[in-house]
Amino acid sequence: MDTFGDTIDREMLSEELAAELDAKATQTSLNTESEAREAAVSALDTRLTEVEAQKCEIYLGSYNGNGEKNTQAIRLGYQPKAVLVAK
């Protein structure tokens, strides 16, 4: 029994078999692309959820002191990132 010990080139295949292999390669590429896009969309959705949670909110208010040097505590209910005090 003889065995083939060389490489099979595309030219050695029938047109039907070559077309079938091309179709499988194309489908594999499409599946890989689809999976990559799904992963990217999922990562983007996760990041968007994180960004929306950090949205900018502005709260305004005023306080009129009585002129004494006593301190005044103002409870906001959250930790502000910035506070503007103007006279």
The per-residue DSSP string of 36-57 comes to: HHHHHHHHHHHHHHHHHHT---
pLDDT at position 40 is 96
Contact 72, 63 (CB under 8 A): yes
Report yes or no on 35 lying in a domain: yes
Q: What is the pLDDT of residue 7?
A: 82
Domain range spanning residue 38? Answer: 12-53
In the block, tokens 């900018």 appear at 56
Q: Is residue 28 part of a domain?
A: yes
- So what's the pLDDT on residue 1? 65
- Please tell me the predicted confidence (pLDDT) of residue 43: 96
Answer whether residue 20 is part of any domain.
yes
Question: Tokens standing for 67?
Answer: 């002129």
Domain count across the chain: 1
Does the structure show a pLDDT above 90 at 83? no
For residue 14, the model assigns a pLDDT of: 87
pTM of the complete model: 0.43
Question: Model confidence over 50-79: pLDDT tens digits?
Answer: 888 777 778 888 777 777 777 777 788 888
Residue 21 · residue 28 · CB < 8 Å: no
Cβ 52 vs Cβ 44: under 8 Å = no
